[in-house]
Structure formats: C-alpha cells, structure tokens
Amino acid sequence: MKKLIGWKKTRSAVFISGAGSNLKNLIKFSHKIKSPISIEIIISNNKKAKGLKYSNQYKIKKQIINFKNHKSAEKKILKILLKKKINFICLAGFMKILSSSFIKNFKGKIINIHPSLLPKYKGLNTHARALQNKEKFSGCTVHFVNSKLDSGQTILQEKVKIAKKDTSFSLRRKILKKEHKLYPAAIKKILS
Ligand code: GRF
C-alpha cells in the first residue's frame, strides 16, 4: 500500500456524450481518500448530455466542445487539458473517435469502457447484436485507447450471463451495474 503522506492524485479528465452514469460513479470513486485520481474537468461534445448535470452537482468544471471540425475540436481540448495539467483521461460513453495525433499526447494515459466482451462487438449496439447472435454471455471491458475503435489493450473485463428473457434494455442495465465496479477497479490496477 502506498503511503498516504505526500499522496498525490493523478489529475484526470472524463469525456462524456450522454447519461454519465459512469462519470457519476467515477466522481464518487475519485472522492475516496485512497483513490488514485482526482477529476478536474468534464469534457463533452454534446451540450445536451445529461451527464453534464454532475458538473454543477459536484462542482467540477465542464467544457462543451463542438466537433463539427474534428481537428480544431481536439486542438481546443488539448489546450484545455494542458492548462489544467491533466495527465489521465477516462472516456465514459464518449461518442467521438480520438485521432492518433491527439492520443500521442497522452500515451498509455487514455482509457475507455465498452459494454461488451472485447474483441467481440466493437462499436455501437453491442447489446442488440449480442442478443441477436444468441450469446450466452456478454459483459464489459476497460481498455487502453489507441487509434483503432475499441481495440487497445484490455485492462480488465467482466462477464455477465445473458438470461433468456433479457432485452437490450435489461442487458444494458445489468452490464452498467458491472461497469460501475469495473471502471474504478481498472483505474486502481493501472495507477495504484
Ligand atoms: C456505457 O455502457 C459505456 O460502456 C459505453 O457507453 C455507455 C455510457 O453510459 N461506452 P453512461 O453515459 O456512463 O451512463
């Protein structure tokens, strides 16, 4: 165990596009005394993202970035992150693909959570596809981000049994519950 004296949390950013249940969960995790991260900023490409409410609720700065021009959006984000001395990024339901030149600035410091047992079901509609293919299990994966979609090295993965009566909705709920355990565990694994 690391000594708590002189313990410095890694200054982190969370990128979201939607509901932000993982964001909320990561904020709560970051408040724990032994958490390896502090969340200094929330970035969203979507001004209507429901998760943005956690910015006010937990007094964390937010920035909404228009991605009409991807390159300049990333440039703006980079500037903000450098100014805030961010050196760790958690993607949590962020619906934009970061370019390799952006990723290069944070080598091994950007992670993502995906609701499937990667390498299966990269991309969108994972639950519907898993159900359609009559999979017995699905799950979630936390992985390092590289320039290919949902393809970086796995940090942690957790299985969820698919029940006969599961729908995309029920499966999503079951998996989200697991995600909320897995994401903090993955952060601890790589930063503690
Ligand atoms: C989660 O299922 C996550 O795995 C995926 O997008 C969803 C985001 O949910 N990348 P939320 O916005 O954190 O509630």
Q: Which atom of ligand 1 is nearest to the CA of 91?
A: 10
Q: What's the first-to-final CA gap in the chain, in angstroms?
A: 8
pLDDT confidence bin for 183, thresholds 50/70/90: very high
H or E stretch covering 54: helix 53-58
**Nearest protein CA to atom 8 of ligand 1, as residue:** 93
Compute, in angstroms, the gap from residue 20 CA to the centroid of ligand 1.
Answer: 7
Pick the catalytic residue: 31, 114, 143, 180?
A: 114
Annotation says 70 is catalytic:
no
Residue with tokens 């703006």: 76
pLDDT in tens, 117-135: 999 999 999 999 999 999 9
Walk me through the domains of the chain, giving residue ranges and CATH numbers.
9-107 (3.40.50.170), 114-192 (3.40.50.170)
Predicted pLDDT at 6: 61
pLDDT in tens, 53-96: 999 999 999 999 999 999 999 999 999 999 999 999 999 999 99
Nearest to 38 by CA among 9, 60, 4: 9
Taking the C-alpha atoms of residue 13 and residue 81, their distance in angstroms, rounded to an integer, is: 8
Residue with tokens 């930063």: 191
The best mutation among 15, 16, 21, 112 to test binding of ligand 1, ranked by most ligand atoms within 8 Å of the C-beta, falls on 21
Nearest to 182 by CA among 151, 153, 158: 158
